[in-house]
Structure 1
Amino acid sequence: MSKAAVVEPAAAPPARRLSYPRSLDGKVALIVGGAGGIGAATSRMLADAGATIVITHRFGDGNPTTAAAVLADLGGENHLALPADVTDTSTLIALRSQIEARYGRLDILVNAAGFTKPVPHADLEALTDDLIDSLFQVNWRGQFAVIRTFAPLLKASGDGLVVSISSVAAFTAVGSSIAYCAAKAGIDVMTKALARVLAPEVRVLAVSPGVVDTNFVRGRGADFNDKVSASTPLKRIADADDVAAAITACATLLGYSTGNIIQVDGGRAL
C-alpha cells in the first residue's frame, strides 16, 4: 500500500492593509496627545491605513517612554515622537518647524490632548477659578492654538483634515465637571466656525465620545463602567478603538463632510 500524501497546511496569507476610498499613502498625520489611550489607538489605525505618524508627548513627565512604546507598535521607521505643550504656543511653533523640516508637509491633525478633574456639579465652591482656567487652557485654548499653528501646513496640503476630540458632555451637560462640559461645547462651536474659514483646503470635524474605557478620568472604576454600560443602549462603554475608528473614517471615508460633530457613544445620549 502506498502511503497517503501528506498535505501541508496552506501558509497564512500576508496581512493586508485595509483599502479605503481616500488613501492615506504618502500622508503625514500629527496626533497631539498621541501617547494617551485614544491617541495611541488612532496612531495605530492611521498608520495601518498608510499614513506616516507624528505623536506628541509632554515635557518631563515620563511620557517619552510611553510615546516610544506607541511608535514601536506602529512599525516602520519614518514615524516620530516629539515633545510639545498645547498651553505653550512657542513649543507648537517649534514642533511645526521640526515636522516641516523632516517631512515637508502635514495632511492630518488630530487634537487628542486634554485633561479633566471630577467635580460634582452641585459643588460650586470646588470648581475654583484656577481649575476652570486650567480646564479651558488645555481643552479649548490648547486645541485652538494647535489648529492655528498648523493651519498653514494643512492648507498647503490642499486636502487637509482636522479632527478634534469633543464629548457628548458638550450637549448633555453631564460630565466630569461643569467647566469640562463647557469647554467641550466650545470645541463643537470652534469646529463649525473653523470648518467655514479653513474650507475648501481643510476639512474640520469633531468626534464626540461618551464614556470611554481609558484612564482619562482618574478614580473611575469597574463599578462606574458597569453602571454606564447598563444604561447605554448598546450595553457597553466605548473602548479607544471605537473612537479611533471614527477618526480614521473622517480621514478615509467622509471626504465630503466638514463642520460635523460625530457621536461615538453607543446611544448613551439618546
Structure 2
Amino acid sequence: MNPVTVITGGSRGIGAATARRLALAGHDIAFAYRRDHDAAAAVLADIEAAGRRGVAVPADTTDADAVTALFDAAAALGELTGLVNNAGVTSPIGPFVDLDPADLRRVVDVNLIGYVLCAQQAARRMGPGGAVVNVSSAAATLGSPNEYIHYAAVKAATDTFTVGLAKELAPRRIRVNAVAPGIIRTDIHTISGVPDRADRAAGRIPLGRAGEPDEVAAAIAWLLGPDASYTTGTVIRVSGGL
C-alpha cells in the first residue's frame, strides 16, 4: 500500500516542493490550494509524471467544512498516512503598533486554526504509523521584532501544539513533529511587502544565504518516513543557523 499524504498550501513554495519530493518517494498526494489554478495544475502534473496519483482541492483551511471535503477527497486515494500542515500567510512587515486587526485575525486563522482543523481530521482518520508535520518558523524563537511579531507568536503556538498533540497521539502510534524554516526563497515575502527579503537578509544568516524550498521539503519527507520512526514531539530547525 502506498502512503497517502495530505499537504495544505501545496501549489507553491515549500508545499509544492514537498508534494513533488514525496511523489518521487512513492506517496499519493492530495493537496489543498486557494486560487492559483495554473500552479496547482503544474504540481499535479509533476505528481502524475512521477507515477503517483494526485488530487488538487481548492480549499480554505480555516473553514471546517472545506477541510472535511479535502480529507474526503484524499480518502479516494486510500487510507491516510500523512499530513503536512503548510498553508500559511504573513502580513505587511512593520512596527507592532501599526498592526491591522484584520491582518492579525487572518494570520491566526490560517496559521493556527487551519492547522488545528486539519490535524483534527488527520487524527480521526489515521491509523498506527501515521505522521503529521506542522510547518512552523524560526520566527517562533526569534520573535521577529519590527517585522511581524504576531506571526512569530502564532508559530510559537504551533510548536506548543506540536508537542501536545504528539503526546496525545503517541499511544495510537501516530507521530507529530514540526519543521521550523528560516528565511526561505518563496513568494510569501511578496505578501509581506518585501519581495526581495530573502536576498536582503542573506548577510545576517550564518550560512550566508536564504534557504530553498526543497531543503525544507527534505526535512519534512524525513519526518514522514520510516527513518524517523522514533521521532515525535520534535521541532527541526532548517534555518541556516538563525
* TM-score between both structures, scaled by the size of structure 2: 0.92
Is 2:137 the counterpart of 1:162? no
Greater fraction of residues in helix: 2
**Is the counterpart of residue 87 in structure 1 residue 62 in structure 2?**
yes
The aligned counterpart of 1:3 is: none
Residue type of the alignment partner of 1:109: L
1:217 is aligned, of 168, 189, 198, to 189
Q: Give the partner amino acid of 2:152.
A: C
Q: Aligned-pair distance for 1:179?
A: 1.0
What amino acid is the match of 1:48? L
Once the two structures are superposed, what CA deviation does each residue of 1:18-42 show, in whole Å capped at 9, x if it has no partner? Answer: xxxxxxx611011111102100100
d(CA) in 2 for partners of 1:225, 1:119: 14
> Residue 166 of structure 2 aligns to which amino acid in structure 1?
A
> Superposition pairs for residues 1-270 of structure 1, below 5 Å?
26-58=2-34, 61=35, 63-74=36-47, 75=49, 76=51, 78-100=53-75, 102-121=76-95, 123-124=96-97, 126-154=98-126, 156=127, 158-174=128-144, 176-200=147-171, 201-218=173-190, 219-222=193-196, 224-252=197-225, 253-268=227-242
Q: Distance in 2 between matches of 1:191 and 1:127?
A: 27
Matched positions, count: 235
Larger-gyration structure (1/2): 1
Structure 2 CA distance for aligned equivalents of residues 225 and 150 of structure 1 = 33
Give 2:159's aligned amino acid. Answer: D
- Taking only aligned residues, the RMSD between alpha carbons, in angstroms, comes to 1.5
Cα distance in structure 1, aligned partners of 2:21 and 2:237 = 19
1:35-56 per-position Cα deviation (integer Å, ceiling 9, x unaligned): 0210010011111111111111
* Deviation at residue 98 of structure 1 after TM alignment: 2.3
Q: SS where residue 132 of structure 2 aligns? A: strand
**What is aligned with 1:5?**
none
Contact 1:87-1:138 within 8 A present in 2 as well? yes
Aligned-partner Cα distance in 2 for 1:231–1:92: 38
Letter of the aligned partner of 1:263 in structure 2?
Answer: R
- The whole-number CA distance in structure 1 between the counterparts of 2:216 and 2:110 is 20
Task: Please state how far the C-alpha of 1:77 moved relative to its aligned partner.
Answer: 5.5
Question: Aligned residues: percent identity?
Answer: 39
TM normalised by structure 1 equals 0.83
Structure 1 residues 144 and 234: alpha-carbon distance in aligned structure 2, compared to 1, 3 A threshold: same
Q: Deviations over 1:107-133 (max 9, x none)?
A: 010011011112323x41x21222211
User: How far did residue 239 of structure 1 move?
Assistant: 0.6
Q: Which amino acid aligns with 1:174?
A: S
Q: Which residues of structure 2 form unaligned runs of 5+?
A: none
C-alpha contact (below 8 Å) 1:30/1:54 kept by paired residues: yes
Matched residue type, 2:150: A
Output the CA distance in 2 between the equivalents of 1:97 and 1:251.
Answer: 21
